[in-house]
Amino acid sequence: MFFSFPALLALLALSALSVAAPSNPKVVSMDVSKKTYLGSVKGRPGVYISTYISVGTPPQSFEVSFDTGSSDLWIPAVGDDQTGGPGLFNPQASSTFKSLGTSFNAAYVGGTAQGYWVTDNVNAAGLSLSNLQLGAVSNMQDQKQGILGVSFKQVEMSVRNGQPQYYNFPFSAKEQGFIDHVLYSLHFDGPHSPDGTFLLGGIDHAKYSGDLHYYNVANPSAGPQINFKSLVLDGHELDFNLPVTLDSGSLAIAFPDTQFRAIGSGLNLTNYNKDMGLYYIDCQAEISVDFKFDGLTISANSSSLVLPMGFFSGDTTDPSCVLGVQNSALYESPNDAVLGEPFLKNAYVVYDLEDYSIGLAPAVYTDKSDVQAVSRTL
């Protein structure tokens, strides 16, 4: 999904990357940790998960935003009037670079990225993918770094621009033998922990309680979107019944105006920041929220829902706090609903790109691990 929220802090950095142990040769494990970034993503100061990749031969290193809601990898590249520089891909310096001769155009909320499609070798977290298709971008609007999108093929910019689908990063990982089934899972070490784990090709069964509940993604062209049933605020249930996107790149949860205001009313919040689309809340407030899906409830509390306003405004000296739920009316897609980090920190989430489904279960915060590669339909 092409939905981002203003924010300054917090963004999850995929660091200390490593391949899974030899006993699980078809799972790639990536550690995640929070970091502060003063730039922008998708055209706005924003929250994003970042990771480091290298492109070309010899390899050129880049930090890119890891995005579960988009599907393309693109990196800032040398333009016609440039000779290179830090953070810019130089095609002439790569012996494995090839231009595909077609334009790359990406449009995000508040920003654009324009360049051309290429293929080259890409390395990330032990994956050495040859001839991966990606965008080389020389014209970026308010964008400081590239994006590694890992969503469905139907979300690829090539499709949106009338070009054929291609093997993006996760599908190339299967096509080139690194994983057996195109899925990944995401888990955090605690509701307010800076650390977590991203698994490509596998599931860690020690990191959730009960059974994983799988929900159909009816429209993969809209990204990882499933039906959301209701929200329970301190025991009072609000019926929603609307599609929501599980977006790891968002610091906030977002709902359309009607549902957003119902949440504010349910928590007796009246102080509203119209410019940011957020309700102020006492920094010491104790609240509980249950997210209900068909047959499943994911609970969250104040530690993941009461956030510093500076996360969104960029003013780290602001002592006020806000509820981590934002009004979708602030954006170009006012009817979209998103479950971002405040929800995801309380859930174990499996994104199955082959079977068009999302798996959910309450998160368990433990040092134990039971990682299994997935090789068939779940």
- Enumerate the active-site residues: 67, 247
CA dihedral 247, 251, 255, 256 (to 10 degrees): -100
State the burial class of residue 195 (Cβ atoms within 10 Å of its Cβ: 0-12, 13-18, 19+).
middle
Q: Say which residues have a Cβ less than 8 Å from residue 177's Cβ, sequence separation at least 6.
A: none
**Is the link from the previous residue into 25 a cis peptide, with omega within 30 of 0?**
no
Contact criterion met (CB below 8 Å) for 212 and 360: yes
Decide the pairing of beta strands 306-308 and 325-327.
unpaired
Tell me the C-alpha distance between 67 and 49, whole Å: 7
Q: Determine the Cα–Cα distance for residues 342 and 254; give it in Å rounded to an integer.
A: 10
Whose tokens are 């069964």? That residue is: 205
For the chain, the 3-state helix, strand and coil shares in percent, each to the nearest 5, are: 15, 45, 40
Q: How far apart are the first and last CA of the chain?
A: 24
The dihedrals phi and psi of 165, each to the nearest 5 degrees, come to -65, 160
